[in-house]
Amino acid sequence: MKHGFVKVAAATPKIQVARCNFNGDRIKEIIDIAEENQVKVLVFPELCITGYTCGDLFLQDTLINSAKEQLMIIVDYTKGLDVLVAVGLPICKDGKLYNVAAVIQNGELLGLVPKKNIPNYSEFYEARHFSSGNMIPEYITVREKEVPFGTNILFHCKNLPTLIIGIEICEDLWVPNPPSVEHTLAGASLILNLSASDETTGKDIYRWDLVKNQSARLVCGYIYADAGEGESTTDLVFAGHNLIAENGTILNQSKRFENQFIASEIDIQRLMNERRRMSTFIPNGHEDHVVVEFQFTKITELPEMPLSRHIDKAPFVPGIKADRDRRCEEISNIQAYGLKKRLEHTGLKSAVIGLSGGLDSTLALLITCKAFDLLELDRKGIITVTMPCFGTTDRTYQNALSLAKHLGTTLKEISIKEAVTLHFENIGHHMEVHDITYENSQARERTQILMDISNQYNGLVIGTGDMSELALGWATYNGDHMSMYGVNTSVPKTLVRYLVSYFAETAKEESLKEVLLDVLDTPVSPELLPPVDGKISQKTEDLVGPYELHDFFLYYILRFGFTPSKIFRLAVAAFQNEYEKDIIYKWLTTFYRRFFSQQFKRSCLPDGPKVGSVAVSPRGDLRMPSDASAALWLEDLQKINLE
């Protein structure tokens, strides 16, 4: 449970209808499995002690008494175990029968939560047997102990204070105002749903969306346990469609028509961080809820358990190709329409781009072409400027020329070697000293040329730098750092690559596609140092680290505010087959050092469109002081055990 992860599970036992002792034994077997796997929260289906499909047998005392007897056997069975269990059964109270979720932990019955919304339509006729539960909890005596009974009960873990559990039962989720809404506004971070949802054609898709979207709307974890094989098939078939969701993401789901035990880890800390940053998630207090406290006894004994949930190593890039293509089209539209508006507002008909033949300037040019097409402007108004110098290789030079030609722009070639050499003489810098002055002088000379050409053509200088470079400060201040509108300013390097790949795949001309593919295959480099044997000698990722790692770090730092130790743990899980722990640690340390020290560059960024949930604009997403200390974050890193 370190870093806020809580291992949870949903399970569908193979029951026999109305045979409570048999069902109780199956439930206990699954509890054992959960305990062995260090599961802390386990959810069973609705009415699973009896079976959901008992029909009028629910009116028989024999069934009701047997169900209660099995409940107490299960309660006793959990003594000494460290898993909280929610199990469904019918319970009588004040002459009425209720469809109830019993919450059990360590040999104690913590509470009984009745179903609030009783369906009585189509194939469902629960109102024939069950009454609707009251919101305000009352108490029922069980073994001479008062146990809360009502829909508004929250279960609070004392030694993991952010774990607060609310419960709803099947139909409760399908109504316009589910109980989980009030539960989460009262503080619940995890919702358990004990369900018996029958299968009809296409219903699984709706159910999947319902659970996914509810977890997103409520910024919570959601465990949905569904009845399955073993229920009566007189009229219905149940498929055991279990789901575990977290804030709009399905972490795990069972295969339908196979009674399964599924588990994953809910990141409670992530949920709390998300709620903290959302000004529209407004808690209303828990005055209308009874809060029952419990605690896990073995929480300090557990080692850092491996994560079974999938950790996406490219969080900025959709994993499914169909989604990726749709997202790439959407992102390129955001970029292009942002530039379109700026051109319309200024009344300018020209744009100026420094074209290096690398990834970033290629994407910026493609976006500018799209904006010009939207405005029905002649692409000849796009002035592409290639400015070869000491580090330019023939490969990038030729690619720049080819791109300008294929895209129909106006190409200007201006060598800056003579100007930079003269500048070195003026400031007394020796040509053979390949230091930061040697590199940055080239970058600033290029920016000066672009700005002056924009005056000549009455145009807009289009920035090409991406968000990954800005996060690392891998830009020359008042050099490539500066422009009049930065179309890539919130696009991370890993996404730049996929966007250019998308343009290559959708290119109508085969020759343009070939150039774009070669750009994709070229090592990322500022090309500020002389080449070796005609090849790029200065590879960015050798100097600052792999961009796929830095983009991963950037996402979890800015999107969720995680600690360095937690981000390290996630990165080790995501890149376990690609990078050793010490390599990840090295570049994570580099990231934090550069991220803090280079904020001054981000504090004066040109305008540019936000395309995703993470951005570094000083006007909105990242209002960070330029002189903030990184000491606390580096101290947390030093505590990490690399063994």
Residue positions annotated with a catalytic role: 46, 115, 170
The DSSP bridge partners found for residue 147 are 140
| Tokens matching residue 250 | 């399905």
Calpha distance 40→368 (Å, rounded): 53
State residue 142 phi and psi, 5-degree precision.
-130, 115
Nearest residue to 271 (alpha-carbon basis) of 542, 8, 621, 548: 8
Q: Where are the beta strands (DSSP E) in 475-551?
A: 485-486
| Tokens matching residue 545 | 């680290």
State residue 412 phi and psi, 5-degree precision.
-125, 130
Residues for the chain: how many in total? 643
Calpha distance 416→440 (Å, rounded): 13
Calpha distance 269→250 (Å, rounded): 17
Calpha distance 515→383 (Å, rounded): 19
Could you tell me if 129 and 266 are in contact, meaning their C-beta atoms sit under 8 angstroms apart?
A: no
The 10 Å Cβ neighbour count of residue 4 is 21
Could you tell me if 113 and 143 are in contact, meaning their C-beta atoms sit under 8 angstroms apart?
A: no
DSSP 3-state of 155: strand
Number of H helices, E strands in the chain: 20, 20
Could you tell me if 362 and 507 are in contact, meaning their C-beta atoms sit under 8 angstroms apart?
A: no
Could you tell me if 467 and 499 are in contact, meaning their C-beta atoms sit under 8 angstroms apart?
A: no
